Structure formats: C-alpha cells, structure tokens
A and B are shown apart, each in its own frame.
Chain A
Amino acid sequence: MKILIQIGLSLILPAMVQAYDLGPVKLHGFLSQGYILSSKNNVHTDNSTSGGSFKFNEIGLNGTYQWRDSVVVSGQIISRDLGDEGNNNLYIDYLQADIQFNDWFGTRLGRFKTPLGFYNQTRDIDLARPTVFLPQSIYIEAYRPLVASTTGGLVYGNLHNDNIGDIDYELFYGVPGEDDDSCFARAMELMLSGNNLTMYARNIYGGKLQVTPPINGLRFGLTLTYGDTDLNYTDKLSGLPSRLRGSSEPMAIGSIEYMVNDFTFASEYMLNRQRSTLKIGGTTLHKDRLTKAEGFYIGGSYRITAKLETTLYWENFYRDKDDKHGKKLAATGVGVEVQGWHRAWVLAVRYDITDWWLVKAEGQLIDGAAITSPHYNQDLSELKQHWNSLALKTTFNF
C-alpha cells in the first residue's frame, strides 16, 4: 500500500502545479526524496557511512475545508522514512478545527503542530526551508516523536500596537506524540540496557510569543515548553520492571530572524532543563537528576538569483552544559565522551527548478557525536570526533 501511494504520487505530482480542489476541500501535497552520506559515524540511518542511504523521504497530503465563516477544518497525513524511523507508515500529522473569533483570539482543537521555536511546525516540510535539515542544535531529530505534533487544544491571536508592532501568541496543552518504535525509543532502550521499552507521554504544554516590531523583516520569538514522559521497560540484568521519568522544566527557545532584501539572518538559542528519575524495580537509582541541554546556531541565507539560494550557519550543542566535555556522561557508562557535544559548520544550496520542484544539497563539517544515535552506532567506542556528512534532496509540491 505504501509503495503504491509513493508511485502514484510521484507520477501525478509533476503534472500538478496548483492546488487540487475536491469540491469545497482544497488539497495540497508534497513528495521528497533524499540521500545521506557520512564519514566515520552513521547519522539518521544505519548505513550512511556505507555508500550512503536513500532511506530518507516524506510524502504528505493536506486538505482544508472552510465550514461557513467561522470554522476551518484541516488535516495532513504524512508518510515518512528516515533510517528506521517512520518506515513510510501513514500517520496523521495534524487534524484540527480552527475557530477564529477575532484577530486576538482563536482556537485550534484536535491534533496540531507544536509551536516550538520558529521552525518546528514545518520541520517535516522540506519546501518550507532553504536547508535539508533544520539545525540539530535546536531541532534534534531524536526528539521529533515528542515535539512534532500535540493532541489537545491551542489558543492563538494577534495584538497590535503602533509602537511595539505585532505580538502573536500561541498557548497550548495536550499530549505529545509517542512512538515505541522510534529511534529515540530504541536508543533509550540500548542506553538503559532494557527490553520492551514503551513510551508514555503524559503531557506537553507551553507557549510561544512572537514580536514583530515596526521594522520590516525583523521578528523575535520566545517559546517555553513543559512536558512529562515516562519510559517503561524491563531491565535486562535484573528482569525487573523499570521506569525513567523525564520532565522538561522548561525547554526554552529564544529566536531572532531578520529578512532584508535577498538576505535572511536567523539565530536561535535553546536551554532544555530536564529532570529525570530512574527506578529499577522498587529501587530509585537517581531522583530528580538535572541536566541542561543547550543549543545555539547563527547564520544566514542569501538568494543569489530568483531560483538559487545558499545558506551558511554554525551551530553548537551540549547534551548537558555542565558536562561540555562528556566526562560525566562517560562515567555513567551509558555513553562516551565524544557524545557530549556537537559543533558544525553547515553549507547548503537550494535551487527551485520550477514553482513546484526543487533540489537541495547540504554539507556539514562536524565536531562531536552528540547527534548520533546508539541505534545506528552500537559500538560507541568507534564513534569519531571529527566527521562530515552530505545530504541531497529533491521535492515536488502542489
């Protein structure tokens, strides 16, 4: 079934250059195919170092229906594959009823994209950005199952003041996604030396504030997100039921973006305060242990011609800012020092062949292995500090 959908879309999408109307429902969609190659360390897939991997695609179908003047019902289904993640299973990316009462108050009910930083809500939409991947210092692929979408309720609105500019807010509460087969779950199963790991995402809530001052092209953002997730598993050594409970208290992201002429400058900073409690059987191994993951990137994109855009940015990430060299991580026995940090220079090029077809290339010079997963690099002693990656991607959309 999945293969038929991919083949069907790949045949019809190139012929479609605008939205397809199914009566009152407007349909849009996209189809992306990528390739990842890396040196020394596997990233996002299990064989990126062995000739590269094509297990990297997204297919999406989006429908919007306006019911009278007050309610817009919209939904998006996605089939994606990134290494062992997704495996082109179909899932609901969002399905929501959007009711806007006035400019300063509206609500979305159902499953909606989680507001997190400037770019999380379009993280699976290749055509929405100039690079292949979002900066991993902020938008870590491993966390995607928990932060891509939320089922619950969200309120939003816009407030305007001639001196301050526009203030856009989103406040939300709900339950995040959880995927027991995700690479995050499998990686945690390895790190915890457990079996039969299941995720129970208890809640996620928070808010995003965006300020657009009366300076064309400039905007600032602040996101605060809280959430609790349990990982329940069987400890391999003892055979006892065990649980790792984690809480974000909060994940804070500060953002700035400035567009002037053909140049876009962007920078974001993330601090994720996480508390964790680990129990094996009835024994608490650690309680309320605090780690502070920290990430930052700065860079810009420049549109060279109407169709050609290039991006350069530098990013830095620590799994725990109080353990920048990974020594505490190595001492726990669940990781190695080089997994403590990630630094990278990233250069990307995007070429829009037509309005509905684009190609991209992205190279990364990387220092540190914090973004690698033990699921794809099971012998952690083989992880190397200095390595590179190359990603290619093409996307059709209508």
Chain B
Amino acid sequence: MVIAHPKTTVREISQHRLRQLYLNRSKKWADGSSVHLTVFVDQPATTVFITKHLGKSTAQFKRYWKQQLFSGKGIPPEYFKTLQELLQYIRTTRGAIGFIDCDAPPKGVAVIRLTE
C-alpha cells in the first residue's frame, strides 16, 4: 500500500513513477512540490519493492543512496524501524511518501493507488 501526506492530491501512481522517485530520477510531485521519500526497514513489502521494482538488493539500494548523497546528487530516504514513526513522519511532512504492508489504510494519511 502506497501512502502519502494527507494533503497530497495525487490519487494514483504508476510503478514506473514510483521507481523513478526511489531511484532519484524524479524529485517532485506534478505540482512542483518536493517529494520526501521514506523506507520502512525490515518489512517484506520493502524487500519486494526494492528487489522486484528497483532491481537491487537491499544492500545495493542503501549503497546506491549513499553514492547519491555523498556525490551531491540527492537526499536519501528517511529510514524508519517502526510503523508508528513512519506514519508520524508522513502525517507531518508535506510531500512525504512511503509504502507499507497493511490491509486497512492507516488514519491520517492519503492512500495512493498503485497502477501498472
């Protein structure tokens, strides 16, 4: 499930677009505001997303973002170890986006439908 800040106006996002965001090829929403990436570590959905959609292992993904950071190309995602911390960040950070394993949408965040 892809979630975002409650004032996000985007209601659906393609897998390609999500990939572009998480590989630092795209940094903005359609309205020009900045995207703030999050990663919920150690959840199955994260591992599946990184390996299947980004074509990297978790270690390669972390190293990729360290390369982006220390070469001045991008701001890495915020990593969270608990769902509560992740949700709190997304609720309070304009432009934040993340993905979680969840059957029911959490309160206080926008849910974005993931399309092909």
A residues sitting closer than 8 Å to B (CB atoms) are 18, 26, 28, 30, 60, 62, 64, 66, 69-70, 72, 74-76, 94, 96, 98, 100, 102-103, 108, 112-113, 121-122, 125, 127-128, 158, 160, 166, 168, 216-217, 259, 261-262, 264, 303, 306, 309, 352, 355, 397
B75 and A66 form a contact (CB under 8 A): yes
User: Would A306 and B59 be within 8 Å (CB), given that A64-B75, A121-B71 are in contact?
Assistant: yes
| Contact of A125 (CB < 8 Å), options: B20, B55, B71 | B71
User: Would A113 and B71 be within 8 Å (CB), given that A259-B60, A261-B57 are in contact?
Assistant: yes
Q: Which of B5-13, B27-35, B98-106 contacts A (4 or more CB under 8 A)?
A: B27-35
What's the nearest-Cβ distance from chain A to residue B68, in Å?
Answer: 9
How far, in whole Å, are A125 and B60 apart by their CA atoms in the complex?
Answer: 15
A128 nearest in chain B by CB position:
B67
A125 and B66 form a contact (CB under 8 A): yes
What total of A-B pairs shows CB separation below 8 Å? 82
Which residues from chain A contact B57 at a C-beta distance below 8 Å? Answer: 259, 261-262, 303
B75 and A127 form a contact (CB under 8 A): no
Which residues from chain A contact B73 at a C-beta distance below 8 Å? Answer: 121
| Contact of A76 (CB < 8 Å), options: B20, B66, B67, B72 | B72
User: Would A303 and B59 be within 8 Å (CB), given that A66-B34, A69-B34, A103-B20 are in contact?
Assistant: yes
How far, in whole Å, are A306 and B62 apart by their CA atoms in the complex?
Answer: 12
B70 and A76 form a contact (CB under 8 A): yes
B25 contacts A by Cβ under 8 Å? yes
What's the nearest-Cβ distance from chain B to residue A272, in Å?
Answer: 22
What's the nearest-Cβ distance from chain A to residue B95, in Å?
Answer: 8
In B1-50, which residues have CB < 8 Å from any A CB?
16, 20, 25-28, 32-34
Given contacts A108-B72, A261-B57, 13 further A-B contacts (CB under 8 A): A28-B69, A28-B70, A69-B34, A96-B72, A103-B20, A103-B26, A113-B72, A122-B70, A125-B70, A128-B66, A216-B55, A259-B56, A262-B57
| Contact of A60 (CB < 8 Å), options: B33, B67, B70, B95 | B70
A106 nearest in chain B by CB position:
B27
B20 and A160 form a contact (CB under 8 A): yes
- Chain A residues touching B, majority SS: strand
B residues sitting closer than 8 Å to A (CB atoms) are 16, 20, 25-28, 32-34, 55-57, 59-60, 62-63, 66-67, 69-73, 75, 79, 95
How far, in whole Å, are A66 and B25 apart by their CA atoms in the complex?
Answer: 17
B63 and A128 form a contact (CB under 8 A): yes
Which residues from chain A contact B67 at a C-beta distance below 8 Å? Answer: 121-122, 125, 128
How far, in whole Å, are A62 and B65 apart by their CA atoms in the complex?
Answer: 14
How far, in whole Å, are A194 and B95 apart by their CA atoms in the complex?
Answer: 59
How far, in whole Å, are A217 and B75 apart by their CA atoms in the complex?
Answer: 22
A74 and B70 form a contact (CB under 8 A): no
How far, in whole Å, are A160 and B23 apart by their CA atoms in the complex?
Answer: 13
- Ordered by A's residue number, 23 sampled pairs between the chains whose C-beta atoms are within 8 Å are A28-B70, A66-B75, A69-B95, A70-B32, A74-B72, A96-B72, A98-B72, A100-B27, A102-B28, A103-B26, A108-B72, A121-B71, A122-B70, A127-B70, A128-B67, A158-B26, A160-B16, A166-B20, A166-B25, A217-B56, A259-B55, A264-B60, A303-B59
What's the nearest-Cβ distance from chain B to residue A108, in Å?
Answer: 7
B79 nearest in chain A by CB position:
A18
